[in-house]
Structure 1
């Protein structure tokens, strides 16, 4: 099951709805790329606003990963993909209850990037800038952004893989399992908006142990034009 796909025309991500034969609850999966066209994030926000509950990644504020990529692209003067922005969805403005498996939003710090986000920028921007400068101006085109339900994304070194993927996947899956058990008799749509690398584990949980099945005819959103 494809979650993101890359062709000569660009990068797309799917909107995948999963249903259960014995439950009216639906999960709406939004595998997200943290850097993309402005209208991509506008479409995501509109889709989120139609749901009854949102399970979102990290915190309510700009993506430090997306901002690092965008900064490095501008420093190396790469224009592939046209005008791009980093993910910066204002969840509070959507008016939909939002759950943050990675931790609750701190009152009074709405929309402010936390300290670890700035540390991400400090460490990632130099590395990405050098990588893009050495590799040339087709960096985005060469990157493998394709993710499917049987993908096994890996990060190096191993400590980053454990902290950024394994541990956070564990929190996310526990949250979704709890929602299924507590609210499976409700007629609600639960949106799951996370980086695409986290979604293979989500699909395997929902379609495997919990018994959900994908609805036919998933909607595709254009993230980046090539």
Structure 2
């Protein structure tokens, strides 16, 4: 049976916080499938749960999502209904009080807007402006965000090799942590984009026998939210 990672319906978008376990081992790997934009309460709920974990494995570096910033900026420029009610992903890992592993970089601590992230935002914004201009003011709610563990992720601007390289770095980090901690009653949090989770679930199942044993759904945004005034 397929494991659902994100769900999009008439009620909005939800993300499943998924616990993976191996029978006979006390270690839990907890997946936090992330999206670039959502309601502020979603990111606050994720941050609160992360504080209870023993180790965090996170994507990129400790900086706001440049893609999320580009999307929000493009939404404002094209007068999207959701522009005033949603925020970009920005979890301050340094404030969580939990050790963090950055598989793709050697983080130098909290960074507000590194040059490469700023460049990313400048390059991505025109693309999203064009997409949203063609999609109209209801662009957000016409996008489907559903991901399962057997989903073949469809990529737009992101190069497929780039995605797979990130997957490999993440899986290597989790393999190392499993080897070191599989006999401990700990929780390892994985804070990565939802597009990476199918590869993680498949790799950990094949290598060690990890299976989903539970999930807690968090609302990224509800369907009414993009139309709601914040005044």
Q: Same fold per TM (> 0.5)?
A: yes
Q: CA deviation at 1:214?
A: 1.2
Corresponding residue of 2:133: 133
- The 10-residue stretch of structure 1 (201-210 or 50-59) with the greater mean CA deviation from structure 2: 201-210
Q: Tell me the SS of whatever aligns to 1:18.
A: strand
TM-score by length of 1: 0.93
Q: Which runs of 5+ in 2 are unaligned?
A: 224-231
Tell me, in whole angstroms, the C-alpha distance in 1 between the residues paired with 2:220 and 2:133.
23
Corresponding residue of 1:155: 155
Tell me, in whole angstroms, the C-alpha distance in 2 between the residues paired with 1:207 and 1:95.
30
Q: Tell me the SS of whatever aligns to 1:23.
A: coil
Tell me, in whole angstroms, the C-alpha distance in 1 between the residues paired with 2:116 and 2:24.
42
Q: Tell me the SS of whatever aligns to 1:199.
A: helix
Tell me, in whole angstroms, the C-alpha distance in 2 between the residues paired with 1:3 and 1:175.
21
Tell me, in whole angstroms, the C-alpha distance in 2 between the residues paired with 1:130 and 1:175.
37
Number of aligned residue pairs: give it.
221
Tell me, in whole angstroms, the C-alpha distance in 2 between the residues paired with 1:84 and 1:112.
19
Q: Which runs of 5+ in 1 are unaligned?
A: none
Tell me, in whole angstroms, the C-alpha distance in 1 between the residues paired with 2:44 and 2:184.
28
Which of 211, 218, 222 is 2:219 aligned to?
222
Q: Tell me the SS of whatever aligns to 2:159.
A: helix
Tell me, in whole angstroms, the C-alpha distance in 2 between the residues paired with 1:20 and 1:135.
44
Corresponding residue of 1:118: 118
Q: CA deviation at 1:212?
A: 1.2
Corresponding residue of 2:209: 211
Q: CA deviation at 1:207?
A: 2.3
Q: CA deviation at 1:14?
A: 0.3
Tell me, in whole angstroms, the C-alpha distance in 2 between the residues paired with 1:23 and 1:17.
13
Q: Tell me the SS of whatever aligns to 2:33.
A: strand
Tell me, in whole angstroms, the C-alpha distance in 2 between the residues paired with 1:81 and 1:115.
24
Match status 1:62 vs 2:61? no
Which of 103, 125, 142 is 2:105 aligned to?
103
Pairwise CA RMSD: 1.5
1:31-90 alpha-carbon deviations (Å, 9 max, x no partner)? 011100000000000010010000001001100011111111111111148610000000
Tell me, in whole angstroms, the C-alpha distance in 1 between the residues paired with 2:180 and 2:165.
23
**8 A contact 1:53–1:96 mirrored in 2:** yes
Corresponding residue of 1:87: 89
**8 A contact 1:90–1:111 mirrored in 2:** no
